[in-house]
Amino acid sequence: MAGYPDVMDKLVSLCKRRGFIFQSSEIYGGTGSVWDYGPLGVELKKNIKDFWWNAMVRSRDDIEGLDAAILMHPRTWEASGHVAGFTDPLVDCKQCKARFRADKMDPKKLEANVCPNCGNKGTLTEPRLFNLMFKTHMGALEESSSIVYLRPETAQGIFVNFLNVQQSMRQKVPFGIAQIGKAFRNEITPGNFIFRTREFEQMEMQFFVEPGTDMEWFDQWKAKRMQWHFDLGLSPDRLKFHQHDAGELAHYARAAFDVTFDFGGTLGDQEIEGIHNRGDFDLSQHQQYSGKKLEYFDQPNNKRYVPYVIETSVGADRVTLATLVNAYREETVEGESEGRVVLGLKHSIAPIKAAIFPLTKKDGQPEMANRIVDDLRSAFAVDYDETGSIGKRYRRQDEVGTPFCVTIDGQSTSDQTVTVRDRDTLVQDRVDVSQLKGYLAAKLVG
Ligand code: ATP
């Protein structure tokens, strides 16, 4: 069976042309694998982050939010194992200068010392371990004692605040802490647009449970997180679980599943989220390195213990890319020679909810359109467009995923009705202006 098509090049170009994503510092030739979100991209990513925050924090009593700093005490990263172990084996080709991760290479090629890029034999260096953390200095002196790291994951900010949150919010185990924030990794082989970048955002939740109940919670979170991806609108056919076997498990993990998404083309199934049973590894390590107790006191049962942790960790950028890939479609329109590109985004994450067009620039139509824009703006992200043919304006909105286009025509100024066109069905309804906000609100739910 043929896989999903490769839409990446088309998406990269759409994202630039329509203000979703630009290469960072483009006028200087770009920064390696760092991207900037433009006006529509920032709305899309924000909507996805809000969708996560609402599901994980706002709709639950047992999860608290947090926004910990990027710069942490350097001992944090010794305790977490990142200073010693957050490394990838790096192989260079002396001939073509290409760089590879030995663990992601074809073992036969590695063994035979054949470069996967230029095909030369005997030109590969021995694998060298390369730490992925970015280092910088805190304070005025650039000496080894002032080294700090840009966090490579947000999770550690949660672990070190475990007791602060538990005690200030009077939470009882089981409960969770969630945060969204930037993370940095000096990846050896970044690429595939925003799939693997050196600066990215994570949405992580650590759920603290009593030892012995951890596998039950792990299974619950596995199911809940998969459901979240369905609810986001990702096609269930493209989503799978990938279980880490013993050899693949990270040093901290007792059990791990990835949620994978089929990006199509040669990229295919790739991890978008990790769900891990971290046991008591992190809290125990921080206890040991800080000398501070990180135990929970279970008052009713009069016992103390270091909780186990179930982690759910999803990349905001990676899931944004999955959302774009999933939503992208090209179609022919009946009765029209030109096809259209549509981003079939779920309504609630579309960057613009409704676009308002006056059919002509005269007869009071722009004024009426602007009054409608002002009225709708308090409720939804809207766009006003009066340039080009109506067909062109529809195409522009389809391409950025706008669910509804509202047109003001000759009839509108006399009978106070407008047409509302649905992005997906192309059906046009005639709606009374006084009913428009309610009409859109009802359709935009979900
Ligand atoms: P990989 O094996 O792809 O490097 P990982 O297993 O190291 O990823 P985790 O440490 O489990 O990833 O991170 C959790 C999530 O953070 C990933 O599922 C992904 O969505 C996101 N993520 C990790 N690294 C990057 C990156 N370099 N760019 C964008 N997102 C990332």
Q: Model confidence over 343-371: pLDDT tens digits?
A: 999 999 999 999 999 999 999 999 999 99
Of the pLDDT bands very low, low, confident and very high (cuts 50, 70, 90), residue 2 is low
- Interval between CA 129 and ligand 1 midpoint (Å): 19
**Structure tokens that stand for 241 in this block:** 């679980």
- Residue whose CB lies within 8 A of the most ligand 1 atoms, among 271, 310, 321, 325, for a mutation test: 271
pLDDT at position 381 is 96
252 falls in which pLDDT band (50, 70, 90)? confident
Q: Is the pLDDT of residue 384 over 60?
A: yes
pLDDT at position 146, please? 86
Residue of the CA atom closest to atom 11 of ligand 1: 274
Nearest Cα to Cα of residue 353 among 402, 287, 396, 304: 402
Q: In this predicted structure, what is the pLDDT of residue 189?
A: 82
CA of 277 to the centre of ligand 1 (A): 16
Question: What is the pLDDT of the chain when averaged over all its residues?
Answer: 95
Give the pLDDT band (50/70/90) at residue 11. very high
Averaged over 368-397, what is the pLDDT? 96
Q: Specify the residue with its C-alpha closest to ligand 1, atom 7.
A: 274
Using one digit for the tens of pLDDT, what is the confidence trace for 97-107? 998 999 888 89
98 contacts: CB under 8 Å, gap ≥ 6: 92, 115, 116, 117, 118
Kindly report the protein residue whose alpha carbon is nearest to atom 29 of ligand 1: 196
Among 2, 74, 15, 3, which Cα is nearest to 321's? Answer: 15
Residues linked to residue 366 through DSSP beta bridges, in sequence order? none
Residue 446: per-residue pLDDT: 59
Do the beta carbons of residue 88 and residue 188 sit within 8 Å? yes
Question: Considering only CA atoms, which residue is closest to atom 10 of ligand 1?
Answer: 153
Helix boundaries (H) for 249-315: 281-290
Average pLDDT on 382-398 reads: 96
Residue 191 or residue 111, greater confidence = 111
pTM of the model: 0.94
Task: State the pLDDT at residue 248.
Answer: 82
Select from 90, 318, 325 the residue to mutate for testing ligand 1; criterion: most ligand atoms less than 8 Å from CB.
Answer: 318
Q: What is the pLDDT of residue 154?
A: 98
Compute the distance from residue 315 Cα to the ligand 1 centre, in Å: 7
Nearest CA to ligand 1 atom 26: 196
Distance 201 CA to ligand 1 centre (A): 10
Rounded distance between C-alpha atoms, residue 213 and residue 279, angstroms: 11
How remote is the CA of residue 183 from the centroid of ligand 1, in Å?
A: 10
Cα dist. 13→34, 324, 356, 387 in Å? 16, 12, 25, 22
What's the average model confidence in pLDDT over 51-56? Answer: 98
Average pLDDT over residues 68-79: 97
Question: Distances in Å between the alpha carbon of 290 and those of 206, 287, 302, 341?
Answer: 20, 5, 25, 55
Torsion-angle region of residue 170: left (phi > 0), alpha (psi -120 to 50) or beta?
Answer: left
Q: Whose CA is nearest to atom 16 of ligand 1?
A: 315
pLDDT of 190 reads 80
pLDDT at 309: 98
Residue closest by Cα to atom 2 of ligand 1: 271
| Residue with CA nearest ligand 1 atom 23 | 315
Query: Which of 160-164, 221-225, 337-341 has the weakest average pLDDT?
Result: 337-341
Q: Say what the pLDDT of residue 143 is.
A: 75
Stretch 387-409: mean pLDDT, rounded?
96
- Whether the predicted pLDDT of 145 surpasses 80: no
Ligand 1 atom at shortest distance from the alpha carbon of 258: 18
CA 64 to chain centre: 20
Instruction: Give residue 336's pLDDT band: very low, low, confident or very high (50, 70, 90).
Output: confident
How far, in Å, is the centroid of ligand 1 from the Cα of 115? Answer: 26
Query: Does the pLDDT of residue 53 top 90, yes or no?
Result: yes
| Ligand 1 pocket, Cβ-based, cut-off 6 angstroms | 153, 185, 187, 196-197, 200, 202, 271-274, 313-315, 317-318
| Res 83: pLDDT | 94
pLDDT of residue 274: 98
